[in-house]
Amino acid sequence: MRLLVSMAAALVVSTVSPCIAAEATVTRKIPVILSTDIGDDIDDTWALGFLLKSPELDLKLALGDHSHPEYRAKLIAKFLQRAGRTDVPVGLGVDVPKSGGKPHQAEWVKDYDLAEYPGRIYRDGVQAMIDLIMESPEMVSIIAIGPTPNVAAALAREPRIAARARFVGMYGSVRVGYRPGSPPTAESNVKSDPKSCQRAFAAPWEKIITPLDTCGLVHLRGEKYRQVCDSRDPVAIAIIENYRIRMASARGAGDTTADTRSTTLFDTVAVYLAFDRTLCQIETLGIRVTNDGFTRIDPAANRVSVATGWTNLGGFEDLLVARLTGSN
């Protein structure tokens, strides 16, 4: 299968620096759509910040997915406004009743009026996604970092998007589970809606994923975390504000985790794979999504480019920190 087209057409990448992508000379930005369940776990917020600070990527639309559409749209819109990126339209995604986690970041947007967002708001984010892909003169990369009702709904309405888009996401557990050395498990994004994920993986587009095997290892601690926590960059400030609110909501006001380290930053790796893969080991595997939410290796299944290991995890962490703090 043809791998996800990357750097040759979109950018020139240095092979010398450990922060390879940070040394990139961008010749053409990659148009992307972000579909996210932002507001459940905090890693989506880190990923949105990383995306906005990645010059290789051109965010054309950001929409929430998998329940709480108004809440997620507010989080996206306020974050974009803080980042000075109100040129990016915001979409409300598919509402899946009685699903999704607790809105732990609601305090951050409690007084935010979505109608006052200076940019465009699409009440039907799925149709906005379809229209953008079908009208784009270039291949669009869908960065999906949550359960996939939006993607499944878009494919059902307009199957032709699969010929005009690529699917890049944080999904699955191929050889490793949530803990290093643990067996594969039903990863949350897949398990939350296996049927929608099956549709996304069955579509005839290029697919690249980061499963728990790679994204489950990404944490910022020590000086790397301190740089983000102390940064005066508006994106870093917004991330840490949300992080503190999220941890207080989930664990109580006395929790001090946000003073010392990040949680696991799963979704940031999907953003990275949208523009580079040099720091990862990539395998092309047949991946079958089971009804109980597992992603099994199956030679007879559709082929997927899978980041199954790191060639330079430290380099990725350095890149993430440099971009979020504006120091690259």
From CA 239, how far away is CA 46, in angstroms rounded? 6
The answer to the question of residue 2 being in a domain is no
Following DSSP, what letter does each residue of 154-177 receive, concatenated? Answer: HHHH-GGGGGTEEEEEE---SS--
Written as one letter, the residue type at 178 is Y
Give the pLDDT confidence score for residue 12 in this predicted structure.
33
Neighbouring C-beta atoms of residue 60, cutoff 10 Å:
20
CATH code of residue 306: 3.90.245.10
From CA 181, how far away is CA 212, in angstroms rounded? 11
* Mean pLDDT across the chain: 92
Instruction: Summarize pLDDT for 195-204 with one digit per residue, the tens.
Output: 999 999 999 9
Q: Count the domains in the chain.
A: 1
Please name which of 22, 80, 27, 78 lies closest in space to residue 49, comparing C-alpha atoms: 80
Residue 2 CB partners (closer than 8 Å, separation 6+): 206
Instruction: Summarize pLDDT for 113-132 with one digit per residue, the tens.
Output: 999 999 999 999 999 999 99
Give the pLDDT confidence score for residue 70 in this predicted structure.
97
Following DSSP, what letter does each residue of 197-246 receive, concatenated? Answer: HHHHHHSSS-EEEE-HHHHTT---BHHHHHHHHH---HHHHHHHHHHHHH
Instruction: Summarize pLDDT for 89-106 with one digit per residue, the tens.
Output: 999 999 988 777 789 999
* pTM, rounded to two decimals: 0.92
Q: Burial code of 158-168, b = ≥16 C-beta within 10 A, e = fewer?
A: beebbebbbbb
Label residue 21 by pLDDT band (50, 70, 90). very low
Neighbouring C-beta atoms of residue 284, cutoff 10 Å:
14
| pLDDT of 259 over the 80 cut | yes
| pLDDT of 22 over the 50 cut | no
Output phi, psi for 251, to 5 deg: -125, -5
In terms of phi and psi (left: phi > 0; alpha: psi -120 to 50; beta: otherwise), the region of 16 is alpha
Instruction: Summarize pLDDT for 260-305 with one digit per residue, the tens.
Output: 999 999 999 999 999 999 999 999 999 999 999 999 999 999 999 9
Give the pLDDT confidence score for residue 98 in this predicted structure.
72
Give the pLDDT confidence score for residue 25 in this predicted structure.
52
Tally helices (H) and strands (E) across the chain: 13, 12
Which secondary structure element, helix H or strand E, spans residue 144, and what is its range?
A: strand 140-145
Give the pLDDT confidence score for residue 27 in this predicted structure.
72
Angle at 217 between CA 215 and CA 219, to 5 degrees: 100
The answer to the question of residue 68 being in a domain is yes
Give the pLDDT confidence score for residue 213 in this predicted structure.
98
Residue 267 CB partners (closer than 8 Å, separation 6+): 36, 43, 44, 46, 47, 145, 170, 215
Neighbouring C-beta atoms of residue 300, cutoff 10 Å:
6
Which of 12-21, 84-93, 134-143, 267-276 shows the lowest mean pLDDT across its residues? 12-21
Instruction: Summarize pLDDT for 44-80 with one digit per residue, the tens.
Output: 999 999 999 999 999 999 999 999 999 999 999 999 9
| pLDDT of 133 over the 60 cut | yes
The answer to the question of residue 1 being in a domain is no
First to last CA, the chain: 35
From CA 52, how far away is CA 268, in angstroms rounded? 12
Give the pLDDT confidence score for residue 267 in this predicted structure.
98
| pLDDT of 6 over the 60 cut | no
Give the pLDDT confidence score for residue 183 in this predicted structure.
97
Which residue range is the domain that position 58 belongs to?
Answer: 7-325
| pLDDT of 222 over the 90 cut | yes
Label residue 20 by pLDDT band (50, 70, 90). very low
The answer to the question of residue 139 being in a domain is yes
Q: What is the average per-residue pLDDT within 136-153?
A: 98
| pLDDT of 13 over the 60 cut | no
